[in-house]
Amino acid sequence: MFDFLSQKFSSIFSQITGKSTLTEQNMQEALDKVKDALLAADVPQELVETFVIDIQKEAVGQKVLKSLKPGDQLIKIVHERLKAFMGSDTLQDFSFQLPATIMVMGLQGSGKTTTIAKLMHYVLNQAKKRNKKRNVLCASIDFYRPAAIDQLEILAKQVGVSFYRSSKTDPVAAALDIQQYARQQGFELLFLDTAGRLHVDQGMLGELRTVDLQLKPRYKLLVLDAMTGQESLNVAQAFEQAVGYQYAILSKMDSDTRGGAAFVFRYAQKKPILFVGIGEKIDDLEQFYPDRMAGRILGMGDVLTLIERATDRINESEQEVIQASFMKGKLNLQDFANQLDMMSKIGSLSQIAKYIPGMNSMNIPQEKLEKGEAELIKFKAIINSMTPKERIVPRLLDGSRKQRIARGAGVTLADINVLLQRFEESQQYVKLFKKFGRRGPGMF
């Protein structure tokens, strides 16, 4: 997400960060590079001009060049403008009001049906954090795409929510039948999947408009494919004029999209982005926080989102077990394996790296991250091939034991030695943790 922009911006501003002097010339050079980066990210030229002019005006007004740290001051202004562009007034910790019908719209291929599954998973997870349960129903009136309704039924089972298949074949009649069923059965939330087309056409919009008038849904969400760039803005405009919607969801933000659509959507459409899809799994959905996204673009990372992902995906008992190991100041290989499992729950190395401050400026090749990911999978296979005693007492691993483990895991002796080397390195961090953990028990 925003990898292209983040790499560009990190490269631009790394040259002026912390500088005690900044001239009008090199400030203008930096802003020219910002302009080029945004244009390359598929941001419309008129919006690029607006963005840069706003920064220039604010920089002059705050007398950046004469400030104590002009480079840092300029970056702060850019950060604030990024937040404003992407919607600094976006709702925090969004939740759906109950009861509600939620009408989900979008073009065919935008990831609309999968996004509904992610939204339902989000709702259930949000309720679970509050020790509550949600009675959720989903249904589809997409009679045009083969197997669309079957796909939603499969996803509903995967998420753990109810599914209803209407016997009606007319989309409007089916929508009314579905809503009536939801009310009769006391469902708190109804997610309605609507039909899409490969492109905007009046027939689709007319049908959606009629469904909207008949159902009067509390929420209308528009799913947009982030890979379509500026075209997504045109699609959003067509839906807004014909049907209207409150929030947008950008799918496929984990792709090689350059992020231009997300960057300007709030400013151009005057509609907030509510969520972004960042993968294929049902928990690969993030709420869109403009301040956090601005930080990512500028290479500042997003530690808050990383912590939230860890909290959501790693249960409390797992956290307590690994914390106890850290506080002892020593790990065994079983603890090491548990760490690897917890990290894989948070995401791949590529995903995690995007949240860590300064990672983009390091320009770590994707191939290297993928190699590291493959190494972690190998490590888990090696540890799984050990006996429980070998995991707890690694010094037992002599030559013959290593050969047995290598055969069981399908690896080489060199791979086992690399694992043991990494394990020894991790022990040093654990000793540091114990040292500082005594000063602050809440550090973990």
Q: For position 230, what pLDDT does the model report?
A: 76
Instruction: Give bridge partners of residue 105 from the DSSP assignment.
Output: 222
Band of residue 210 on the pLDDT scale cut at 50, 70, 90? very high
* DSSP code string of 92-121: SS----SSEEEEEEE-TTSSHHHHHHHHHH
Pairing of strands 189-193, 273-277: unpaired
Q: For position 196, what pLDDT does the model report?
A: 83
Mean pLDDT check: name the lowest of 85-89, 186-190, 272-276: 85-89
Instruction: Give bridge partners of residue 138 from the DSSP assignment.
Output: 163, 191
Band of residue 279 on the pLDDT scale cut at 50, 70, 90? confident
Comparing CA positions, the residue from 166, 161, 152 lying closest to residue 104 is 152
Q: Tell me the residue type at 50.
A: T
Q: How far apart are CA 118 and CA 285, in angstroms?
A: 6
Q: For position 443, what pLDDT does the model report?
A: 34
The average pLDDT across 130-152 equals 92
CA dihedral angle for residue 426, residue 372, residue 417, residue 381, rounded to 10 degrees: 100
How many beta carbons lie within 10 A of that of residue 236, not counting itself?
20
Higher pLDDT, 369 or 29: 29
Band of residue 181 on the pLDDT scale cut at 50, 70, 90? very high
The average pLDDT across 259-284 equals 82
Q: How far apart are CA 83 and CA 295, in angstroms?
A: 9
Higher pLDDT, 34 or 365: 34
Q: For position 213, what pLDDT does the model report?
A: 96
User: Residue 224 in 3-state DSSP?
Assistant: strand
Comparing CA positions, the residue from 252, 278, 254, 250 lying closest to residue 263 is 250
Task: For residue 398, give Cα distances in angstroms to 87, 123, 363, 392.
Answer: 59, 51, 39, 14
Band of residue 441 on the pLDDT scale cut at 50, 70, 90? very low
Mean pLDDT check: name the lowest of 92-96, 201-205, 284-288, 359-363: 359-363
Percent of the chain with pLDDT over 70: 77
The number of CA neighbours under 13 Å toward the Cβ of 34 is 26
Higher pLDDT, 280 or 71: 280
Mean pLDDT check: name the lowest of 113-117, 124-128, 185-189: 124-128
The average pLDDT across 339-349 equals 75
pLDDT higher than threshold 50 for residue 259:
yes
Q: How far apart are CA 429 and CA 239, in angstroms?
A: 53
Rg (CA), the chain: 25
The residue assigned the tokens 């990372």 is 301
The average pLDDT across 152-178 equals 96
pLDDT higher than threshold 90 for residue 270:
no
Band of residue 208 on the pLDDT scale cut at 50, 70, 90? very high
The average pLDDT across 120-144 equals 93
With contact defined as beta carbons under 8 Å apart, do 423 and 394 qualify?
yes
The average pLDDT across 28-36 equals 84
Residues 6+ apart with CB under 8 A from 15: 30
Q: In what order do the strands lie in the sheet with 136-140?
A: 162-163, 136-140, 189-193, 100-106, 219-225, 247-251, 273-277, 285-287
Q: How far apart are CA 142 and CA 193, in angstroms?
A: 7
The residue assigned the tokens 């028990």 is 441
